[in-house]
Amino acid sequence: MLGLAAAPAGAASLSRSVDVTGAPSAVWAKIGSFCAIQDWHPAIGSCVLDGKSPPTRTLKTKDGATFVELRTARSDAEHRYAYTFISSPLPVTGYTSTFQVVSKGQGASTIVWSGAYTPNPGKAMDANDALAGIYESGLTAIKASLGG
């Protein structure tokens, strides 16, 4: 489900989701830690937390890119966290994202990864394609790991 939407000042949004086997609490226990992304995302080589509250994570991709992300919200009860880019190689500004596990009932869950951002001038499709690739490859890997 692509949500590339025109909004004020050239802002755009994107959302991807995947259904998996497992209740939200069980799924969240496996993927909900802010640095767990290094365990399930195939492009992430390492994740280092800075130890502060709220934490900042530094992600190094397997191809050498660096993302620095600040967690801006977390709710274990809602199986959700939000974050923003401090720095990234992507052609965007003002990026904010939410990663959440919601109940689908019957022992199943839906993982929703969404973001909002302003693409750099002339880079709307590049930004959308890059973020869609990140979301889709990560969610596909989670589904392969958890089933569904």
* DSSP element (H, E) containing 71: strand 66-75
Residue 72 and residue 54 in contact, taking contact as beta carbons nearer than 8 Å:
yes
Q: How far apart are CA 90 and CA 135, in angstroms?
A: 14
Instruction: Give the tens place of pLDDT for each residue, 96-106.
Output: 999 999 999 99
The structure's pTM equals 0.91
Instruction: Kindly tell me if the per-residue pLDDT of 6 is higher than 60.
Output: no
* DSSP assignment of 74-109: EETTTTEEEEEEEE-SSSEEEEEEEEEEEEEETTEE
Instruction: Give the tens place of pLDDT for each residue, 36-50.
Output: 999 999 999 999 999
Instruction: Kindly tell me if the per-residue pLDDT of 1 is higher than 50.
Output: no
Q: Is 3.30.530.20 the CATH classification of the domain at 8-146? A: yes
**Low-confidence winner among 1-5, 78-82, 93-97, 127-131 (lowest mean pLDDT):** 1-5
